Amino acid sequence: MKCPVCQQAMVEKDFGGVKVDVCENGCKGIWFDWFELSKLDEQGEGLGEALREALNYPRENTENRGKIKCPKCGVPMHIHKYKSAKEVNVDECYSCAGFFLDSGELRSIRDSFMSEEEEKKYLDSLLADMPEYNQALADQEKERERAAALLNYTRFMRLSYFIKGK
């Protein structure tokens, strides 16, 4: 799969049982899949080296690079933008359930701890932010799956959650 930002071939990595694609030779962005994310267990077992490595990727993307197209299905991805102290923008494809995260975004989260309260707020804003073009989400089942995946995604962002107990 090619990186949606810089078009380099992405490398598949295993983040503790969750497969992600990392733009290792390019912008260091990370591609997640909802259904992969929903495999993250409560303990986040094994989420180790690959994640640590990803955390050290520098910010190489411009902050306002605009919309990107989904590397899987080619449709424009929806950008979730939030104004908060720990701003992290995420691009989400509502067609195939993928997320794209710029490398620097992960790093800025590592540098600033997200509390449980902040995590909840962030999750709520993600859940509330739905584009109207997405008809698939009218489907209750899909919406439920999305909510579960977003919860895992948000947990993933709260990195202390995984790093503690190591």
- Between 96 and 163, whose beta carbon lies closer to Zn ion? 96
**Among the residue ranges 23-31, 41-49, 117-125, 142-150, the one whose residues contact Zn ion (CB under 5 A):** 23-31
**In the beta sheet, which residues pair with residue 11?**
22
CB of 26 to Zn ion, least distance (A): 3
**Would you state the structure tokens that stand for residue 7, as one six-digit string?**
């078009």
Q: Is 130 left (phi over 0), alpha (psi -120 to 50) or beta?
A: beta
CB of 81 to Zn ion, least distance (A): 19
**Would you state the structure tokens that stand for residue 160, as one six-digit string?**
């202390």
CB atoms within 10 A of CB 96: 16
Q: Binding string, 124-153, against Zn ion, x = CB under 5 A?
A: ------------------------------
Contact of 58 with 84, CB cutoff 8 Å: no
Looking at residues 2 to 21 of the shown chain, list those that interact with Zn ion (rule: CB under 5 A): 3, 5-6
CB of 104 to Zn ion, least distance (A): 12
Rounded Cα gap, residues 16 and 110, in angstroms:
18
Closest by CA to 93, choosing from 146, 138, 139, is: 146
- Between 79 and 163, whose beta carbon lies closer to Zn ion? 79
**Among the listed residues 51, 70, 114, 157, the single contact to Zn ion using CB under 5 A:** 70
- Between 28 and 158, whose beta carbon lies closer to Zn ion? 28
- By the rule CB under 5 A, 26 interacts with Zn ion: yes
- By the rule CB under 5 A, 72 interacts with Zn ion: yes
**Would you state the structure tokens that stand for residue 89, as one six-digit string?**
């923008």
